[in-house]
Structure 1
Amino acid sequence: MILNKVARCYGKQIGFFSNGRIQITKQNQSLYLVGTKRFFTTQQQPPQTPKQEEPNSKQKNTEDKKTEENEKENEDEEKPQEEEPKKSKYSLPPAVTAVTSTFFLGVIVASTFGYITYNFKKDISEEERYRLNSIESAVYEKIAEPFREFFDNIFENLRTKYEFFDMLFGPGKIHKIIPPPLPGGKKYTLVIDIDALTEITKTSKYPTLYKRAGLDFFLENLRKDYEIYLYFNANIPQNKIEQLNFKIDTNGKYFTGLLYPETGLKERNQFTKKLEMLDRDPSKVIFIDAASPYQHPNVINIGKFKSNSKDRLLVELLPILENFTKKNIEDVRPEIAQFQDIQNKSLSKMLEDYTSTKGINHRQKK
């Protein structure tokens, strides 16, 4: 009875020893009963830390990911503070940047204004033009039309000088440079460069003109079946053209008209292949040129005339051109191709071979 009460009061474990001593243990205290005496002793035991529950693998993974993300965010926040931004080697001064931006802004504004002005009432008919109000009419006549004409002239000049303009923007608008053919008029058209017919000296105040051998005979016989145009190149001053034309065609009976460099018939000193500007059948057009030989299906190159030479190319060419009209050749280009190989054979020899092959009789100068 006594031991049970002691056990309930002082401890949970009761130990009996051989010497009659009883030990009752309660947490950090021990009670010894020896006879009727009680002794209490205290034993220091290391504090027990509560066991932490080990997290499972899923919790570990999520916690590891969160810590990694936090570390990355901390690194990203620390980087811009630690590293100073490096200055670019090619940075421009503020003044230069301001001028450049102002320039490009001005280009954009000017281009937009020019585009709107160029296309203002561009393709309206005469009837629509008369219906414009006073303000629209003033803008059309005083701003839009002069601007279009100025821009088109510049663009056409660039197109004439540089081939890549045609490659970039396509062929330009074809304009007619001679009047349309008359009903029942001459079928064949002959355009002759003045350098192929004459030599003009500039040693004195008044230019001296030397005619190629047989020139008058040549023109007199061809004017019946050909409309003949004389082309003046850019080397001849504008104020001398009428004077030179009078020396060649005193009575005004040889040439149907005169052509100038502004017409665009020659590009880079070569007759253009845009024969639409002549408003004639391309198969009935013949160019007689004096420039360096070049490939063109309508060109007969007789070379530049020199006053000290005594060639008879005009007299030799005359019967061939007359044969075109007599035989009513439908397309002169295949015929012209037979005496264009100037590099391998002289023109005079090719003309002779052609006349003998075709059975053409030589004309004698009257």
Structure 2
Amino acid sequence: MINLVAKSARCARLVTHKPIVARRTLFASQYRFYSEKKDEKKPDSILDEDLLAKAGIDSEPKIESKEEPKRHEPQEDEFGQPRKRRNNVKSSLDKKKDRLAKVFWFSVLGTALAGGIYNSRDWDPEEEKELYNPEENGLNPVNVWTRFKKRMWGVTNVFSEPAFTDLLPPPPPAPYRHPLTLVLELDDLLIHADWDHKKGWKTAKRPGVDYFLGYLSQYYEIVIFSRSSMAFAETAVAKLDPYHAFISYSLFREACRTKDGKVIKDLSLMNRDLGKLIIIDPDESCYSMQPENAIPIDKWDGKKDDKLVRLIPFLEYLATQPIKDVRPVLASFKDKKKIPEEFAEREAKLRQQWEKEQKQINGSTLTSSLLGISQMRPRKMPLDLIREHGQKNYLHMYNYLKENGEKLLQEEQQKTKELLADQKLTLEKIFTEGMPTAEDIAKQQAIQAAQEGQAPAKR
């Protein structure tokens, strides 16, 4: 009994002498987790096991629970989205979506299989005369694959082949035909488009391009063949030739081939003699099928230069000479990119030879004059006479368009409106038959002119 009293007194003394330990234990008990408080059946005493052990009081050992504490999983994932329920219970809307998705993919698979079977059928000798080959019919896997590949290749060719086999109409008769055809690229040759973050897109016209087109239009049938789409390039072509006086035809990306990711201009589809055709393009891949017809040139970056104008003397000489095929002439130059420089050297030698011949002619003329015989001799070199004649024609055309260009343009627009009104075009007719071509317009104008000529006779 005495020992028990002594132990109680000692315990009370320890509690009174160490209030800080009890206060810490109290604060620690206040910051416990909610989950721990929920599992506890009795609140903890201020006197913990250490204090009771020091006081000599034995406490019952706690039996550690084998059950692991429950972990509270976060209700959101790492992206801040609510986590899905672990159970397999789905709402009626989710079940409907899954059912529709299965129907969709099964329909796609069925359509693909049906299309494959249809494209693998035997050749039809009446509907597929170009592809018909009786040896490729049958259920042999090789023949089935051959038929499928050829039919699918015909579908994909719509996107990689030109829209028409003849890109230009037939040339006019010989008296009204230009001696040569000049094919020009639009981008980075005649114009250059650049983008600025302050002003946006800016399009620059190459120095001398108006003179280049106007001067050579009297010798060449000029065709603009752009690798850009018609929706983007047609406006630029219209601004280069607003009066439709220099550019004969315009072709765009829709008339190009596409092979291995490259845009190719097939000159054999232009309905012109390749011996009378020249192409100037800064992209070598565009004329890769007919490189012998090309005059290569560097891309224009928008800065001032005269490379385009310096080609005029050579092109003028080529068009004014009786040349049957331009390809051997182009092949005679060592470097096609330096044709203006090499042609200037050739012209200088030709001029020296001509002057030498003139001296000999002058000597014979002097002798003939002493004998009383008069001879006519040219005062200028024939090439100089050709250039003077070309300059006069260009100035005459320039002045005429300057004075009457707007009037001619208005008359052309008015005739087009009248023609469209006479034909009574409807939206259905445009979609079914398309817009009238240049030949249709010419025929309609001829019919109208004949009717106007016959009208006074009937009266």
TM-score (norm 1): 0.50
Once residues 166 and 209 of structure 2 are traced to their aligned partners in structure 1, the CA distance between those partners, rounded to angstroms, is 28
1:113-152 to structure 2, matched below 5 A, reads 113-116=118-121, 119=124, 121-122=126-127, 152=154
1:23-102 to structure 2, matched below 5 A, reads none
Taking every aligned residue pair, what percent have the same amino acid on both sides? 24
TM-score (norm 2): 0.41
CA change 1:322–1:159 in 2 (3 A) is same
Which protein has the bigger strand share?
1
- Does 2:166 correspond to 1:176? yes
- Does 2:208 correspond to 1:214? yes
- Does 2:226 correspond to 1:232? yes
Once the two structures are superposed, residues 80-113 of structure 1 have per-residue CA deviations (whole angstroms, 9 ceiling, x without a partner) of xxxxxxxxxxxxxxxxxxxxxxxxx998974452
- Does 2:189 correspond to 1:199? no
- Does 2:248 correspond to 1:256? yes
Once residues 233 and 213 of structure 2 are traced to their aligned partners in structure 1, the CA distance between those partners, rounded to angstroms, is 19
Q: Which has the higher contact order (CA 8 A, sep 6+)?
A: 1
Once residues 243 and 230 of structure 1 are traced to their aligned partners in structure 2, the CA distance between those partners, rounded to angstroms, is 13
Work out which of the two has the higher radius of gyration on C-alpha atoms and give 1 or 2: 1
1:236-315 to structure 2, matched below 5 A, reads 238-264=230-256, 269=262, 271-272=264-265, 274-292=266-284, 296-310=291-305, 312-315=306-309
Once residues 218 and 266 of structure 1 are traced to their aligned partners in structure 2, the CA distance between those partners, rounded to angstroms, is 30
* Selected match of 2:322 from 323, 328, 349: 328
CA change 1:340–1:152 in 2 (3 A) is farther
CA change 1:205–1:150 in 2 (3 A) is farther
Once residues 348 and 158 of structure 2 are traced to their aligned partners in structure 1, the CA distance between those partners, rounded to angstroms, is 45
Match of 2:331 in 1: 337
Provide the secondary structure at the position in 2 that maps to 1:242. Answer: helix
Q: Is the 8 A contact 2:191 2:203 kept in 1?
A: yes
Once residues 269 and 351 of structure 1 are traced to their aligned partners in structure 2, the CA distance between those partners, rounded to angstroms, is 32
Q: CA deviation at 1:252?
A: 1.7
Q: CA deviation at 1:349?
A: 2.6
In structure 2, list runs of 5 or more residues that go unmatched: 1-109, 130-149, 352-382, 396-459
Match of 1:48 in 2: none
Once residues 193 and 356 of structure 1 are traced to their aligned partners in structure 2, the CA distance between those partners, rounded to angstroms, is 30
Once residues 119 and 301 of structure 2 are traced to their aligned partners in structure 1, the CA distance between those partners, rounded to angstroms, is 50
CA change 1:225–1:363 in 2 (3 A) is closer
Once the two structures are superposed, residues 149-176 of structure 1 have per-residue CA deviations (whole angstroms, 9 ceiling, x without a partner) of 996351354579xxxxxxxxxxxx9811
Q: Is the 8 A contact 1:292 1:303 kept in 2?
A: no
Once residues 201 and 151 of structure 1 are traced to their aligned partners in structure 2, the CA distance between those partners, rounded to angstroms, is 38
Provide the secondary structure at the position in 2 that maps to 1:321. Answer: helix
Q: Is the 8 A contact 1:174 1:276 kept in 2?
A: no
* Selected match of 2:157 from 155, 158, 163: 155
Once residues 232 and 317 of structure 1 are traced to their aligned partners in structure 2, the CA distance between those partners, rounded to angstroms, is 20
Aligned partner of 2:323: which letter? I
